[in-house]
Every structure is written in structure tokens, then in C-alpha cells.
Amino acid sequence: MRTREDYKKDAKSTSDVVKQDIEEMEVLAAIATAIIDRRNELGYTERDLAVICGLPQSSVAIIEACIVKPNIETLIKIMKPLGLTLSVVNA
């Protein structure tokens, strides 16, 4: 039989996982926002950017919508022509 302490432990671990997921989504949203803002500043449509990057327009769209987590290579392909860079910070 599970005790109240068992449920507390489960709740704590779940909240840690949820917290990590939220933090990850916030990072992805910040990247997507930077891409969208810069793309708009340059007057590019999603299709324009996709052609420049050699990617399907749908790939640009789903990355900007935070539907998928892009790999680093894809992010660099998108960010480079926009003059954006990725940087690593010690959190």
C-alpha cells in the first residue's frame, strides 16, 4: 500500500519534470521568436527563408510554431542567413 510520502515523492519528481519541460519550451520559444522577428525585419516570408536555407517551407513553419525541436544543424541553417548565432551560457 502506498503512503502519503510515496505520493509526495511522486508529485515532487513529476513537478521537476514538468518544470524542466517548461524551461525547455521557453528556450525553444525564445529561439523561434528571434527567428521570426529577424525574418520579418529582413522582409522574408517563411518560404523565402526556406529557399535560402535549402529547407522545405513546412520545416521553417513548424520550427517557428515550436511544434518540433530542431536539431542544431537545422537551427544553424536557419539562423545563419538571418545573421543570428547560437550561444551557450552556463546556467
DSSP string, the chain: ---HHHHHHHHHHHHHHHHHHHHHHHHHHHHHHHHHHHHHHTT--HHHHHHHHTS-HHHHHHHHTTSS---HHHHHHHHGGGT--------
Does some domain include residue 38? yes
Cβ distance 54 to 78 under 8 Å? no
The pLDDT profile of the chain, 91 residues, written as one tens digit per residue, is 677 677 667 666 667 777 888 888 898 999 999 999 999 999 999 999 999 999 999 999 999 999 999 999 999 999 999 999 988 877 6
Number of domains in the chain: 1
pLDDT given for residue 55 in this prediction: 96
CATH number of the domain residue 58 falls in? 1.10.260.40
Does some domain include residue 88? no
Describe the chain by its helix, strand, coil percentages, rounded to 5.
70, 0, 30
pLDDT given for residue 17 in this prediction: 77
pLDDT given for residue 78 in this prediction: 97
pLDDT given for residue 3 in this prediction: 73
Q: Which residue has the cell 510515496?
A: 6
- From its phi and psi, is residue 87 left (phi > 0), alpha (psi between -120 and 50) or beta? beta
